[in-house]
Amino acid sequence: YDVFRPNSVAGMAQRLRLELGVPPDAEHPGFEIVEHLLLRPVAEDRNQKGEEGEEAVPLLAGVDRSDPYSMQLAVVFREPPAALGKHHAATYEQLVERLVAEHTPAHLGVTLHWFGDETGGKHWSTFLDCHRRFREALAAYRGPQLSGRTASPEELQLAQLRLRDARDWLLEYLLIGATYPLRDIPLPDLIVVPADSDAKIPLGYSQRGVTYRLCDHRSGDAIVTGTGKQQRKYEVQGTGGPVELPTPPVLEDVNYKIMAIRQAGNFTKLGERAAWLHTQVTLKEGVDTTLDAHIEAQILDGTLDNPRSSDARLVYHGDAVDVLVDLSQEGVQYELVDHAQPDRVLSTATVIGTGGTIGLRSLAMTEDIDLRVRARKSLDEEHAGGVIREALLDLILPLRVRASLEPQVVITGGEVLAYGGSSKLEVRDRQASATYRVWIRDAFDEVYVYDPNPAVPVVEVAVPAAGEGEEARTVRLARSEYKRWWYGPARFAATTAGTVSGTSVGFTLGPFSHDQEVIVQALKTHQYGPLDRPSVGARDTA
């Protein structure tokens, strides 16, 4: 018969059903037959061998026979219900023993088992579940081999683990021998953990009835934290599928071994059996993305009494800033980057963390930008060839930059006009993010400077000769006090808006009946919050 078909029935089982009068449509005949040969080791059991320096564990312990697999059958019957009485149960058991002996081929040894659900646990139901899982796992394991179907390495690995796990349960249930936990459970050899954070080590498969315990990689002692009632061991119970083994907070790079402990069961004389999983897990402290940092500059919103690190700062066009990172991690590399383009480095140099506060110097800033701090921690020699972790700190640092003062201001309509004449002014190489406004006022007598060697800053205007017999001359006017920020000089009035043309902005001035002083104002509107998020308010600077 085809062992891989779920409803396959062996000839011996069919004969026993007929002899016992089991109806053809019965949900279950009340017995199962297990061939020991199907429980023999498979190729992957070589993974149970210990690594160098590790204690070896047997594939099967407590075995009575030199060969527990060949020419052996196990026939498992459900115990008669207690309600039938001891006499009926004894008669039924004698009948079963005689029928099993009659219908077992002479060259086979047979062991008869009786399992019940009424006393001492659900042994019959548990056995049925184990046998079913074993048959399904055997079909999944051998199916690709027999059909020629190509299976992924992950599928093959999971299939062999499930098969060996289900087989080991049957070996113990049928008293054939005691098994040890599987040692080739898939584990990552390296996990990167944020600083001062708990970790969870993923086990790709776990066995039911097996405890997985976190241990020191050198001494083998269980990892324990706390004392008394607060004492905690780090372990997890197997489920028959993937599980996660918790760890203490990672304060530094650490290596762990994992001990698998099979609990003492009802079907073996041996107690707990333990084995080390092959993979040693290394936890590397990654970068702490929760560190605080701030820009050393003026607060954009001057109404804030207690500004936060994430509140926008304001600097002049072309200024560099210092960003201070508090409690930097020792050995971690830090640099400034653009939040919108993290590959764009904005710091003049990479700075190594010291465990305290470090400063990062930016390049000259010319436009509003959101800064981030990128942290990178290099691997040690064992894991050379990459980085253990690279991440941006959680904090976004808005930096706002005033308008540039570099655009050139040119009078294109003449600086000397006839009475009632007009002129034109042009702002060339304008800054796209800025707007411009022209302010004018009458030039009063007190602003004229007649000393050819003035002691104050002046604006000189070359006045051509008005006619024959007259000479050209230079008129000097005291320059209004200059500041990098707009302060609203007295008596100046704004003109109409300019006209943008390409990289220039043009203004028409006049007509005038008096000499005029002209000031050009550059303005920008700055968003308080990050540029890639809805605005939470803005401020104009000039």
Instruction: Give the start-to-end residue ranges of the domains of the chain.
Output: 11-173, 190-285, 293-401, 408-541
Query: Residue range 315-324: average pLDDT?
Result: 95
Q: How far is CA 207 from CA 237, 263, 424, in A?
A: 8, 11, 87
The DSSP bridge pattern shows strands 313-315 and 397-401 to be parallel
The DSSP bridge pattern shows strands 293-295 and 322-325 to be antiparallel
Look at residue 525 in the predicted model and tell me its pLDDT: 92
- Band of the pLDDT at 6, cuts 50, 70, 90? low
| 74 bridge partner residues | 34, 111
Cβ contact 385:467 at 8 Å: no
Query: Do you find a cis peptide bond into 454, omega within 30 degrees of 0?
Result: no
Closest CA to 198 of 233, 253, 236, 250: 250
Look at residue 330 in the predicted model and tell me its pLDDT: 86
Look at residue 84 in the predicted model and tell me its pLDDT: 73
How far apart, in whole angstroms, are the C-alpha atoms of residue 12 and residue 32? 11
How far apart, in whole angstroms, are the C-alpha atoms of residue 181 and residue 174? 18
Query: Residue range 140-155: average pLDDT?
Result: 84
pLDDT at residue 162 tops 50:
yes
Instruction: Record the tokens describing residue 501, joined without a space.
Output: 């043309």
Query: Residue range 267-278: average pLDDT?
Result: 81
| 255 bridge partner residues | 282
pLDDT at residue 266 tops 70:
no
pTM of this prediction exceeds 0.75: no
How far apart, in whole angstroms, are the C-alpha atoms of residue 466 and residue 464? 6
pLDDT at residue 437 tops 60:
yes
For 190-285, give the CATH class. Answer: mainly beta
Closest CA to 257 of 225, 194, 213: 213
The DSSP bridge pattern shows strands 423-428 and 387-392 to be unpaired
User: Of the CATH numbers 1.10.10, 2.60.40, 3.40.50, 1.20.1270, which one belongs to the domain with range 293-401?
Assistant: 2.60.40
